[in-house]
Structure 1
Amino acid sequence: MALTYDEALAYLRQLTNYEAPQPVPYNPEHFNLDTLEAFLQTLGAPHQAFASVHIAGSKGKGSTAAMVAAVLERAGFRTGLFSSPHLVSIRERTQINRQWISPDDFAALVTELREHAGQPGGRIGRKPTFFEFNTALSFLHFARQRVDIAVVEVGLGGRLDTTNVLIPEVAAITPIELEHTRILGDTLAAIAWEKAGIIKPESCVVSAAQASEVIEVIEQRCEVQQAALAVAGREFHSDIAELSREGSTFHFTGFGHHWHDLKIPLLGRHQVGNASVALAIIARLMAQGWAITKDHVTQGLSRVHWEGRLEILDRQPWTVCDGAFTVEAAQHLRRSLTELFDYQRLWLVLGLATDKNRAGIIECLGSLAHEVIVTPFQNPRSCDPQQLAAEVQRQGVPARIAPDSATALAWAQAAANPDDMICIAGSLFLLGEIKARQRGSAPEF
């Protein structure tokens, strides 16, 4: 019997979801490719029906993927985009030419895939996890809808990530930093080793500029796999021409291309770095024969949109939101707020997950704030607001604890003058709650 959309969501909620609970060990007992490989084989191997770009990294994966997809779509290719997590609707994760999968198509695919998922004694052996199921659903949707190419963002790590069943045209690694240390390892080299696991034999690899120990790991992996590596600042680079609240203008040089006066509407100089990696991916695809021109690049980049990344929600007072869930991302946010905006006082609405570097993020952002309003969000990974407030106060910044994100934002709006700033940061889960409320809905997970 066909499921309704709400019934499909209810089915997914009872699957094991490693995005919601406390971290589990990153090993083949909890993360492996065998289950998804078997699952996909029962579905006719849909992941082999389209070309792909595979993107790993600690931050910037989603923005980079969105820019690559925008250029490919502008070039006339039917382009899939698989990303995670979502902000409001799970359908955000599965897009073709920037259109989310429809509720009817989503429910129909959940109904179909449920019949193949973990039948006793079957080829799969256990039910897929939440992320495995959604990966299979997206790949099957892409195959059925005959996409030419899919841009796929890694969920966690790389080596054991569900998406690593792909054999991509280009693999890319965005900036790597200390994150998910309880799962991926507590050194940059250990984390880099996991993320470099997406590099396949004789493949084409692009990397953002990285710390020396990270590049060393990536280079070693490429040598073992006989993969061709291009690194930002070495084989290609970008120069910023202008930064503004409307976006950035920059020049890209690499692989024989000199593209000038490119514009992206995504805010902050760090997005130019992400754009540079995206254009290196495009350049490598062009070298493989994909019909993409400078006009496609220019027009695609100018139309890219990616929610929750230094996104302006209102202008009086300035109200912006940004995930900023790592220390380096918080540093980028701080720099962008300073470079791009004029304001008198700043109210910071802050919510963090338990596995994040609370002290480092608060140290970076707290000193900008007139007051920090700490809030929980509706996810099991939400940090205890009492602990967050104590850390804020320990660093000498006034803090209040709101019972929920709606109250936190309302308090900030009541206190801020038109020439002030409200910044919502710390977690995509928090941003999803606030954006869902603006739309009159609720986050689906």
Structure 2
Amino acid sequence: MNYNEVVAYIEERNKMGSVLGLQNIINLLGRLGNPEKKIPAFHIAGTNGKGSIMAYVETVLIRAGLKVGRYISPTIYEYRERWQINKEYISAEECSSIMTDVINETNKMDEENAGSPTSFEIETAAAFHYFAKNKCDVILIECGMGGRLDATNVFGSTPIDVIASISFDHMQFLGNTLESIANEKLGIVKDGDILVSYPQNEEVEKIIDDFARNTGRTETRTEIRKEARTEKTGKETEKETEKESVEEEKSVSLKKYYKADRSALKVISQDLKGSAFYYKGDNYSISLVGSVQIMNAITAIEAINAFNQIAKSYGLKKIDRETVIEGLKDTKWDGRFTVLGEKPLFIADGAHNEEAWIRLAADINKYFTNRKLIFIIGVLKDKEYDKMLNLLTKYMYHAITITSSSIRALDGKYLAELINERGVSAEFIGSEEEAVDKAESLAKEVGDDSVIIACGSLSFIGDIIRIKKEKDNE
């Protein structure tokens, strides 16, 4: 298959929706020789901040001279962004080759009635196949959703499990309480793993602390396979289709538990160029903007501390503190309160759920008090967009709404109506290009007090960043 045929195949496979369960991916990986067992991994779960923590860890590992594979979803620029080695996208040619291998095995499974892997399961298997084939030293694997039944949760054991910030999202699949969501995320932890946790809120921190303390326990559970399908309206629905395993016994004993420690942190400075802070005896600086990025950075520091505990057993060298300091300083991660321009000031942020919107509102309060904020907004219909609007409309001078290309996108016209109902001037614009043009034109009229903020979903932030860069390079 050539690259275009691969992409077309995946687009067709996307119509299956997503299925929570591990049997298909385990079967598929077995047919590929179990590449997931060949490389030490960081497995990262959580609601927000997974990508940022991964970016910090990745930059440090690469600076230490390691060959690092990274698998992420969703992407913000293009399809091949999912699979990277030392920050280089997989080539179209190798993507075709790797995916053809996986698709051939998928088709055999279909023919043999041995399961029907979803597009995400195929892409996940391709990641392990690609990284093993290229003999990566370490891999970074981001959970797609949840953890326990996520297609990435296929390791017999994972050297390092990282739990990023946990809050409410995907409740239709993960549960309606923080306890149920946290337990789903903690489902990635296997016997003998090292666990690293972000500085959580009090309730979630207690859940994770209790989990870490109660190691050695045996629990019995019944896993229920849930299937999410996308209807023509773009709305995801769920139904119970089968019991995947009955009363599975799971014994968990952690090797070690690392927790990012707020009490050991002292923030020195914060502005739109980044932050400086002191943590456990060392001074650090980061270029990623926002208070949350400091918390993500100290989580990454603890993840590197965890890596140093097991490096020798994999024939790898420990990473010295100077490499960590320089790696954090060099880390870039687009679409997270990213400054795209200064005249007018233009911010792109992929905030897509309540916790992220609360943090965005806090950063707006910190950096843009009494400024006139022009928003470019697009959201997905399965998100709690009413909460977003309740949090953010009080800061809006004017809103420009769009409908992103995602099949799950909320109609931008309806979004504009909701904003107007909250007493804010809003208008729907048909494309991201026109939205950027309109926002910059309005900012010029408003003057130096104006700030443009694009937010609401990662589904269109990549396009906004690309369009802005192209305009500035004209």
Question: TM-score with structure 2 length normalisation?
Answer: 0.84
Is 1:205 matched with 2:195? yes
SS of structure 2 residue aligned to 1:251: strand
What is the CA–CA distance in structure 2 between the aligned matches of 1:5 and 1:436, rounded to whole Å?
A: 22
What is the CA–CA distance in structure 1 between the aligned matches of 2:267 and 2:130, rounded to whole Å?
A: 38
Q: Which residue of 1 aligns with 2:186?
A: 196
Deviation per CA, 1:373-409, whole angstroms, max 9, x where unpaired?
1211111110122432233233322211222333222
CA contact (8 A) 1:243 1:340 kept: no
Deviation per CA, 1:6-63, whole angstroms, max 9, x where unpaired?
2221111111367xx6xx7xxxxx2111111111111111111100001111000000
SS of structure 2 residue aligned to 1:117: helix
> Where in structure 1 are there 5+ consecutive unaligned residues?
25-29, 441-445
Q: Which amino acid aligns with 2:203?
A: E
SS of structure 2 residue aligned to 1:66: helix
Matches within 5 A, 1:352-371: 352-371=379-398
Q: Which residue of 2 aligns with 1:11?
A: 9
What is the CA–CA distance in structure 2 between the aligned matches of 1:17 and 1:297, rounded to whole Å?
A: 43
Deviation per CA, 1:148-194, whole angstroms, max 9, x where unpaired?
11111111000000111122211111111111112211111111111
Q: Which residue of 2 aligns with 1:408?
A: 435
Is 1:175 matched with 2:175? no
Is 1:231 matched with 2:259? yes
Deviation per CA, 1:113-148, whole angstroms, max 9, x where unpaired?
221113157677233211111111111111011111
CA distance 1:393–1:169, shift in 2 (3 Å):
same
Q: Which amino acid aligns with 2:427?
A: R
Q: Which amino acid aligns with 1:118?
A: N
Aligned-residue offset at 1:4: 2.2
CA distance 1:395–1:298, shift in 2 (3 Å):
same
CA distance 1:33–1:277, shift in 2 (3 Å):
same
Q: 1:259 aligns with which of 278, 282, 290?
A: 282
SS of structure 1 residue aligned to 2:107: coil
CA contact (8 A) 1:118 1:128 kept: no
Of residues 238-247 and 41-50 in structure 1, the stretch that sits farther from structure 2 once superposed is: 238-247
Q: Which residue of 2 aligns with 1:433?
A: 463
Aligned-residue offset at 1:217: 3.1
Matches within 5 A, 1:71-90: 71-90=60-79
Which one has a larger percent strand, Structure 1 or Structure 2? 2
CA contact (8 A) 1:207 1:231 kept: yes
CA distance 1:411–1:343, shift in 2 (3 Å):
farther
**Percent identity among equivalent residues?**
30
Q: 1:217 aligns with which of 200, 204, 207?
A: 207
CA contact (8 A) 1:237 1:276 kept: no
Q: Give the paired residue count.
A: 423
SS of structure 1 residue aligned to 2:167: coil
Q: Which residue of 1 aligns with 2:293?
A: 271
Q: 1:284 aligns with which of 299, 306, 312?
A: 306
Q: Which amino acid aligns with 1:12?
A: I
CA contact (8 A) 1:238 1:273 kept: no
Structure 1 runs of 4+ with >4 Å offset: 120-124, 436-440
Q: 1:67 aligns with which of 56, 68, 77?
A: 56
Matches within 5 A, 1:110-149: 110-119=99-108, 125-149=114-138
Aligned-residue offset at 1:341: 5.0
What is the CA–CA distance in structure 2 between the aligned matches of 1:32 and 1:205, rounded to whole Å?
A: 23
Is 1:243 matched with 2:273? no
Is 1:389 matched with 2:434? no
What is the CA–CA distance in structure 1 between the aligned matches of 2:114 and 2:465, rounded to whole Å?
A: 38
Q: Which amino acid aligns with 1:432?
A: G
> Where in structure 2 are there 5+ consecutive unaligned residues?
218-251, 312-316
Question: TM-score with structure 1 length normalisation?
Answer: 0.90
